[in-house]
Structure formats: C-alpha cells, structure tokens
Structure 1
Amino acid sequence: MSASWQWENATAGAVAGFATVAAVHPLDVVRTRFQVNDGRWSSLPTYKNTAHAVFTIARLEVCARRISLTLFFNGLRGLYAGFFPAVIGSTVSWGLYFFFYGRAKQRYAKGRDDEKLSPGLHLASAAEAGALVCLCTNPIWLVKTRLQLQTPLHQTQSYSGLLDAVKTIVKEEGPRALYKGVVPGLVLQVSHGAIQFTAYEELRKIIVDWKEKRIKSESADSSLNSGDYAALGGSSKVAAVLLTYPFQVIRARLQQRPGTNRIPRYIDSLHVIRETARFEGLRGFYRGLTANLLKNVPASSITFIVYENVLKFLKKPPTTKD
C-alpha cells in the first residue's frame, strides 16, 4: 500500500464528504434543532415532525424578510444555515478519516502474509481515525451547530458567518469553548466510525465472496458497482446511527450558545445525561432520529458511491499513446 494511495484515499474521501453535505444539508438543520429542543430552555419553535420542521423553518425565514423573488430565495437560507462550515467540516473530516483509516490499516497489515485484516483490526483502525478527526474538527462542528440554531427571533446578536463565529466565541467564552462537546464527540466519532466501517468492510467481504462464487457457476462480474456501494453504505450507517445517536444529542446540547447572561444551559456531559433522563426519559436521547436517518442513510450511500468511484478513477493507470 503506497503513500500515494493514501492521498488518493484522502482525496476520494474529501470529494465524497462535499457531495454528501450538498445533497442533504436541510435535514441536518432539522436534526440539530430537534436535538436541542428539550422543551424547557430552548427558544426554538416546536416542530411536530420532520416535514413540519422543514416547512416551518422555510416559512419563518421567508416571513422574517420583505417579500421579493430574490429575498424569497434568501429566506430559504434557514434550511441551509451553517452550510459553509458543514461543507468544510465534512470535506475535511472525510478526507482526514479515510487518510487516517487507510494509514492505520496499512500499519496493522504489515508483516501479515495475506494483508487481510480481521474485524478487530478494522475496528481499531476506524476508532483511531475517528479520534484523530474529532480532535482536528471539533471547532468547525461547534460553529456549524450554533449557526444552525440561529433564527430570525434569536435574542443574541447573530454570528454573521464562520470567521465571525470563531472570533466571537473566543472573545466571549475563551478558546476552550471551541472544544465544547469534544468528550461525547470523541466517543461518538470513535464508536460510530468503528461500527460503520467494520460493518461496511465485513458486509463488503460477504458480497465479494458471493459474487466470486457466482463467477464460477454463471460467469458473472465479481466487481462491485454503485448499487452495491449504496447498499453497503446505507446498511452500515443504520447500525452505527441506532447505537450511537444519544452521543449526538449530548454533543449538540453542550455546543449551544449560552444565553444573554452567558451561562451555559448544560455544564458537562453528565449534566446533560441527568437532565435529559429526568425530564424527557429515553425518548429525549433520540430526538431528531427520524431526520437523522433520512439524512444519513442516503448520505452514507452517496458518500461511499462517490468515494469508491473517485478512488477507482484516481488509481486507474494512465493510458499511453502509441
């Protein structure tokens, strides 16, 4: 496994991350607003379901501005709040993730005759990559979360964008505030990525083995196609989401902007867990799950389709002219 292959991995991951965000960002906004709406401290409107949330966010953003064709489309930007940091965060995260994941697999494969990794080593590779990515990108996700939670009715002076948010956070709350939610973020990244990539790799082996058996009997093509990648990406994502979703809720609630008195709504992860369990029960840890699945299952399919096909393109040897 050459060093150039690692950069091909990173490039494919970055392109996949960008494609994913561009396709499903409005559902990410909806999910984040559901996650922090605990019914007590949140100043956000109450949404009945995902469809109602999409309609309400768009309608309120439009009504908050004078109506004209241009401003109407600008009004819909509520559904794309935090899009810029989301694009940067997803592109960087996926690029780094695939890079670190590939490097970890390369290291674990050294000295092995067949260079095939066990599920445990796939798990370790994914966990290592997730931890490194979380430490690198937490400030970006913090800003994305806060921008997504801004509404026309927001009482605090709004952030005008990514750079303004970073400067304001550092000025008002100190540099450490950029790493709010990093503890549940680390648990989330390590466990979520480890579960997803282990499931992806193991399911991929099953499909490849099944196709290779068909070759012998039916002369079928054993190579995986975009449909295979979509099924692998979506199914592995469902398993990861269901098992790790509460950590997303905990992180989002910790990353909210403090109120006008600059006192955080939640002190730390344990405080979030106690308060959520006490006032909302188990259901509170799964707020926004529907929007999350609607966003992440197709998003993961898109990610792996783009990643695998970009990787194939980058690894394809250049054609030579006679």
Structure 2
Amino acid sequence: MSDGEKWNLENAAAGAIAGFSTVAVLHPLDVVRTRFQVSDGRGGSCLPLYKNTAHAIYSIARMEGLRGLYAGFYPAVFGSTVSWGLYFFFYSRAKARYKKGFDQSLSPGYHLVAAAEAGALVCVLTNPIWLVKTRLQLQTPFNQNRPYIGSSDAVRTIFKEEGWRAFYKGIGSGLFLVSHAAIQFCAYEELRKITINLKSRREKTDVKDGDRLLNSFDYAMLGGASKLAAILLTYPSQVIRARIQQRPSSDGIPKYLDSWHVASETARFEGARGFYRGITSSLLKNIPSASITFVMYENILKLFKLSQSKLDTSD
C-alpha cells in the first residue's frame, strides 16, 4: 500500500470514529429536529405539536420514554460513521488530486470543488440509510401504519410496500445538500488557514508547522463556526428532504410527490418560516456535533501521524 493510500485510509478511520462519537451523544436533538421539520401545522400528521425544543424533549420522554428519544439511533450511528468516514476519504483524495503540480495550499475554489465532489458521492451511497433513520424517528404511538420493528424490519417493509426506488426519496434535495458540505469544509479550511497565519505571526514560527500551532479549542471553534455558516445557508433543503422522506399514509398515498411539491406547498401555507422549522434544535445539535467531530478527527489524525513517524524512525 502506497503512502497516499495509507493516508486516505487514516483520514477515513479518523472521520468514522469522530462521526460515531457525535451521534451517540447528541441523537435526541436529531429526533426533535426531524419531527419539527415535518410538522407543517396543518393537521393530518400523527406527530404531537411541540412548542419548542425543551417541550419536545420533555413530551417525547414522557410519552415514549428513552426509546423515543433514541428512535432511529442505529441507522443514525451507522449512517454517520459511514458518511464521515467516506467523506473524509473522498475529500482527502480529491484534495490530493487537485494539489498535484501545486507547491502552495489549495485555493478556496478547489476546496469547494473537492468538498462538493465528496458530498455528492456520500449522498448517493448513504441516502437509503437516512431515509430509514427519518422514518424511524417519525414513528409515534399515534401512527396508523403498522410500526417498523427496528431498522431491518423498516428496510424489508419499505422494499415490500414501496419498492427499491423509495430508498432514494429526497435524493434531489440531498444532492442540493452537497452545497452544505462544500460550504462547511471550504469555510473550515479557510478559517483554519487564517488561524494558523495569526498564530504563526504571534509566535513567530513557520506556517508549515500549522498542525502544531492548533489545539483542540481551535478545532472546536473552527468546526462550530463552519457548521453554523453551512446550516444558515442550506437549511431549507434539509426540511424538504425530511418531508419527502415521510412514510406514506395507510392507503399508500404519499403526502408530497416530489421536492418541488414540498417547496411549493411549504411556501404557500407556511411562508419562509416553514423552511426553517426545527432550526433551533438543529443548531443545538449540529454546532457541538461539528466541534466534537473536528476535534476528534484532527487529534486522531495527529495520533496516526505520530505513530507513523515512530514506525519510520524505528525502521
């Protein structure tokens, strides 16, 4: 295995570990966010009406217990672990490919293209996982349909009742969410450069030693800030995807036909506010999540580098 391939696998492993850790800690907020996103306030839904994030958590815990707060946990853990692992793998490969022939660091444009490329590949590969997660998170004691008994039952039932194409519902808005990842990683890379330059000037050290200049607090701030920018700019597409991925009613008729139908109905009945339902719980969940992810990713990567350098020295 070449050094480049080994480095890509290390990026994938670091990303996967980071993704698993964040989901395990913050999953209840993800359940709340998903339920807010599909609640249009027009009735016809089996979901209770929640006043705010705190009320939603309290209501779910009281009516459904811990199981309700962790609905869809297994596909969320699996999906996040796979997604982050694949994302960092594809992203590092894309950056390495675009960097060939360049001595200096990549420009923001190249970071944007690399992030978008990685995001598109991950979206196509993982959309079925997110659909199953969304369906499980939307199950309540008031559902008219026979409830899914776990992830495997959900997969079998969806395939039997709706066919394989159902697993790719929301893929259009999901691909639009590629811009979310592109914005996040481009912002992270540029903020990272700025932070390194500022620290190198202050400490009068070489910019090339950037990894040594940054600490866990820096990674947390950079990860949180980049995620905030991405959420604010692309959140409506998350609402559209969640709504179109809802389970059809007991008669098999879906509430929305496609992404355009979701967008037009939301704009018609709820206005701009409808496209930002659940954003509070999304911010509460995703900003700490991004901070934890990048702290773990960067530190795990440092451990890999340290262990590799020790091996090279011993050889």
- Structure 2 distance, partners of 1:87, 1:180, is 20
Give the corresponding residue for 1:191.
179
Q: Does the 8 Å CA contact 2:46/2:140 hold for their aligned counterparts?
A: no
- Structure 1 distance, partners of 2:224, 2:184, is 10
**1:237-248 alignment to 2 at 5 Å?**
237-248=227-238
Which contiguous aligned blocks of 4+ residues in structure 1 show a shift greater than 6 angstroms? none
Q: Does the 8 Å CA contact 1:8/1:315 hold for their aligned counterparts?
A: no
**1:141-152 alignment to 2 at 5 Å?**
141-152=130-141
Q: Does the 8 Å CA contact 1:25/1:83 hold for their aligned counterparts?
A: yes
Give the corresponding residue for 1:258.
248
Question: Which secondary structure does the structure 1 equivalent of 2:285 belong to?
Answer: helix
Shift of 1:231: 0.1
Give the corresponding residue for 1:173.
162
Give the corresponding residue for 2:81.
91
Once the two structures are superposed, what CA deviation does each residue of 1:121-177 show, in whole Å capped at 9, x if it has no partner? 000000000000000000000000000000122211111111111111010001000
**Aligned AA for 2:310?**
P
Q: 2:53 aligns with which of 47, 50, 61?
A: 50
Q: 1:137 aligns with which of 126, 133, 149?
A: 126
Question: Which secondary structure does the structure 2 equivalent of 1:266 belong to?
Answer: coil
**Aligned AA for 1:232?**
L
- Structure 1 distance, partners of 2:80, 2:141, is 26
Q: Does the 8 Å CA contact 1:126/1:198 hold for their aligned counterparts?
A: yes
Q: Does the 8 Å CA contact 2:31/2:71 hold for their aligned counterparts?
A: yes
Shift of 1:77: 1.1
* Residue identity (%): 69
User: What's the TM-score once normalised by structure 2's chain length?
Assistant: 0.94
**1:32-43 alignment to 2 at 5 Å?**
32-40=34-42, 41-43=44-46
Give the corresponding residue for 2:90.
100
Give the corresponding residue for 1:18.
20
**1:117-128 alignment to 2 at 5 Å?**
117-128=106-117
Once the two structures are superposed, what CA deviation does each residue of 1:182-220 show, in whole Å capped at 9, x if it has no partner? 0000101x1001100000000000000011101229xxx
Shift of 1:321: 7.3
- Residue 16 of structure 2 is aligned to residue 7 of structure 1: no
- Structure 2 distance, partners of 1:42, 1:140, is 23
Question: Which secondary structure does the structure 1 equivalent of 2:213 belong to?
Answer: coil
User: What's the TM-score once normalised by structure 1's chain length?
Assistant: 0.92
Once the two structures are superposed, what CA deviation does each residue of 1:225-276 show, in whole Å capped at 9, x if it has no partner? 0000000000000000000000000000000000001100000011001100
Q: 1:253 to 1:230 in 2, by over 3 A?
A: same
Q: Does the 8 Å CA contact 1:138/1:179 hold for their aligned counterparts?
A: yes
Q: Does the 8 Å CA contact 1:5/1:315 hold for their aligned counterparts?
A: no
- Residue 310 of structure 2 is aligned to residue 318 of structure 1: yes
Q: Which runs of 5+ in 1 are unaligned?
A: 62-74
Name which of structure 1's ranges 78-87 and 310-319 shifts more when overlaid on structure 2: 310-319
- Structure 2 distance, partners of 1:307, 1:85, is 21
- Residue 298 of structure 2 is aligned to residue 296 of structure 1: no
Question: Which secondary structure does the structure 2 equivalent of 1:96 belong to?
Answer: helix
- Structure 2 distance, partners of 1:139, 1:126, is 21
Question: Which secondary structure does the structure 2 equivalent of 1:318 belong to?
Answer: helix
- Structure 1 distance, partners of 2:276, 2:45, is 16
- Residue 157 of structure 2 is aligned to residue 154 of structure 1: no
Q: Which runs of 5+ in 2 are unaligned?
A: none
Q: Does the 8 Å CA contact 1:185/1:247 hold for their aligned counterparts?
A: yes
**Aligned AA for 1:318?**
K
Q: 1:209 aligns with which of 178, 182, 197?
A: 197
Name which of structure 1's ranges 196-205 and 151-160 shifts more when overlaid on structure 2: 151-160
- Residue 258 of structure 2 is aligned to residue 268 of structure 1: yes
**Aligned AA for 1:138?**
N
- Structure 2 distance, partners of 1:250, 1:263, is 18
Once the two structures are superposed, what CA deviation does each residue of 1:85-108 show, in whole Å capped at 9, x if it has no partner? 000000000000000000000100
**Aligned AA for 1:19?**
S
Shift of 1:311: 0.7
